[in-house]
Amino acid sequence: MQTDSITYLSLCGMLGYGFPEAGLTAGLKANPAFIGIDAGSTDPGPYYLGSGRNFVHPAQVRRDLELALTAARTHRIPLIIGTAGGAGARPHVDDFLTILREISQRHRLHYRLAVIYADFDAETVVAAWQAGRLTPCGSAPDITESDIRQCRHRVGQMGTEPLIQALNDGADVIIAGRCCDTAIFAALPIHRGYDPALALHSAKIAECGTLCAVPGGANDALLVTLERDAFTVCPVNPGKRCLPQTVAAHSLYEQPDPSRFVEPEGVVLLDDTRFEAVDERTVRVRGTRLSTPNHISIKIEGSKPVGHRSLTLAGACDPRVIASLDRIEAEVREKVAAMMQNSPGAGDVSLIVRRYGLDAVTGASPPAGQALPAEVGVLFEAIAPTRELADTAVSLARSTALHQGFPGRKTTAGNFAFPFSPSDFSGGEVYEFALYHLLTPAAGQTFFHPELSQV
């Protein structure tokens, strides 16, 4: 089934970030066998997986998806999208499908659609945990049954197998929930008989769009061509170039170990990988190998709600206020605790004060003797069991801080400059990653079943 080579187009690093249309148009001239797009990530934190909301706005998704879908259908090539809706759980996928169907209706598109959900119910994960079939990934903390059940959504990262099954079932468009980034781009080549190690390595590079090229930036199209014993990468945009060192450097990106990365298909080994320039903007990669695992394991993700957040932001430019911020904060904490002590749940309110311009990003004290900045932005944040409590805590912190006295104070009319009225904002529910574990299925257990339909 394998032809001499296969070319595919990775449109961008993230669906919805607005890839240049010229990239799509030019990329299609290379006659790609399919278009793949990564539509999600855990990078933006636990909120999206926990709440079911998308982190890319529907209008942005619509713009990118409309261009990609109409192009794929015009050229009669598969469109494969993974981690739909940003986090890839059922609500994300369903919201994405709503946009997909609306575009399809408007353009009168007809095709075979495969939807592959990635959700895991609590019982399945708890059973695995009780049977010792759930182990933490990386530095993930120990987990309890309660943690597992508290996660609003639990998803597993699917590999190439369910996508290959969908292709076997004749799918023209595949919308997958949580998906290994590599599976999006490796499934069809593996399905067509290309070397899985090369397919997976090329996919790892492709999923970030043109991050492997210079000038930098992921949000642009990359053309990948798989050959029998190598693959090439080349940016579609003539103003960008892939260089051996930039493609090699990409292998370090987001991975703890540059010489290998783990996928459901096995461990991809880069010890013998070589990167060479084909021309001034194309790189050929060869030598990547795959070590197949003894057993299948699925990376499970889940985040649990831990409270509600409210916040207020204000600036200071008076040197004595800035020099006294620690003291002001200490007084604010004391007063907020005292005033709220009779409120139910007040013991579970945590107040966090971040001083932008001082140490909000680093958390480190500036070196002793260093001059203080001319301005500091102070972000008061409360996380509490209810929105009401969080709002109250922030309101108390804000009014106290504004009027708080301290030795040497001259600005007795107010310590802070608030940019807005109202000054306080409710930040919604706060989530925390709880599940980031490898699940080994029990004998006979299968997951990720493509659902086929005709659009």
- Nearer to another protein (CB atom), residue 326 or residue 359: 359
Q: Pick the binder of another protein from 245, 291, 411, 453 (CB under 8 A).
A: 245
Minimum separation from the CB atom of position 166 to another protein (A): 27
DSSP-derived secondary structure letter, 171: -
178 and 156 Cβ atoms separated by less than 8 Å: yes
Nearest approach, Cβ of 112 to another protein (angstroms)? 35
* Of the residues 19, 38, 42, 312, which one makes contact with another protein according to CB under 8 A: 42
Indicate the residue among 21 and 348 with the shorter CB distance to another protein.
348
Q: What does the buried/exposed string (b/e) look like for 349-364 if buried means 16 or more CB atoms within 10 Å of the residue's CB?
A: bebebbbebbeeeeee
Query: From residue 216, how far is each of 43, 210, 219, 339 by CA, in Å?
Result: 19, 7, 9, 51
The helix/strand/coil state of 152 is coil
Question: What 8-state DSSP symbol labels residue 88?
Answer: -
Residues 401-440 that bind another protein (CB under 8 A): 430-433, 436
List 123, 145, 229, 254, residue binding another protein (CB under 8 A): 254
Q: Does 345 bind another protein (CB under 8 A)?
A: no
Tell me which of 18, 45, 217, 315 binds another protein, using CB under 8 A: 45
- Tell me if 445 contacts another protein by CB under 8 A: no
Interaction of residue 221 with another protein, rule CB under 8 A: no
Question: Between residues 227 and 432, which has the closer beta carbon with respect to another protein?
Answer: 432
Strands 260-263 and 266-269: antiparallel
Biggest alpha carbon distance in the chain? 82
Tokens 């790609």 locate to 32
Percent helix, strand and coil across the chain, each rounded to 5? 30, 30, 40
Among residue numbers 353 through 392, which ones bind another protein (CB under 8 A)?
354, 360-364, 383
Rounded distance between C-alpha atoms, residue 277 and residue 112, angstroms: 39
Strands (E) in 32-146, as ranges, are: 35-40, 79-86, 112-116, 134-136
- The minimum distance between CB 43 and another protein, in angstroms, equals 6
Distance of CA 211 to the CA centre of its chain: 15
Task: For the CB of residue 102, give the shortest distance to another protein in the complex, in Å.
Answer: 31
The site map against another protein for 285-304 (x = CB under 8 A) is ------------------x-
Query: In this chain, which stretch among 135-143, 178-186, 217-225, 405-413 interacts with another protein, using CB under 8 A?
Result: 135-143
Among 22, 131, 338, 352, binds another protein (CB under 8 A): 352
Distance in Å, CB of 51 to another protein, minimum: 12
Shortest Å distance, C-beta 137 to another protein: 6
Q: Which of residues 180-209 bind another protein (CB under 8 A)?
A: none
User: Binding of another protein at residue 323 (CB under 8 A)?
Assistant: no
Q: Which residue of 259, 365, 411, 426 would you call a contact of another protein, by CB under 8 A? A: 259
Q: Quote the strand ranges of 157-252, DSSP E.
A: 173-176, 213-214, 222-226, 231-235, 241-242
140 binds another protein (CB under 8 A): yes
**Would you list the DSSP string of 16-44?**
TS---HHHHHHHHTT--S-EEEEEE-STT
Considering beta carbons, is residue 77 or 378 the nearer one to another protein? 378
Tell me which stretch binds another protein (CB under 8 A): 85-93, 98-106, 143-151, 347-355.
347-355
93 binds another protein, rule: CB under 8 A: no
For 126-155, letters b (16+ CB in 10 Å) and e give bebbeeebbeeeeeeeebeeebbebbbbbb
Instruction: Name which of 104 and 246 has its Cβ closer to another protein.
Output: 246
Which residue from 301, 312, 307, 362 is spatially nearest to 336, judged by alpha carbons? Answer: 312
DSSP character at residue 145: H
> Rounded to an integer, what is the distance from CA 33 to the centroid of its chain?
26
- If binding means CB under 8 A, how many residues of this protein chain bind another protein? 42
Binding region for another protein (CB under 8 A): 42-47, 137-141, 245, 248-249, 251-259, 274-275, 303, 306-307, 350, 352, 354, 360-364, 383, 430-433, 436
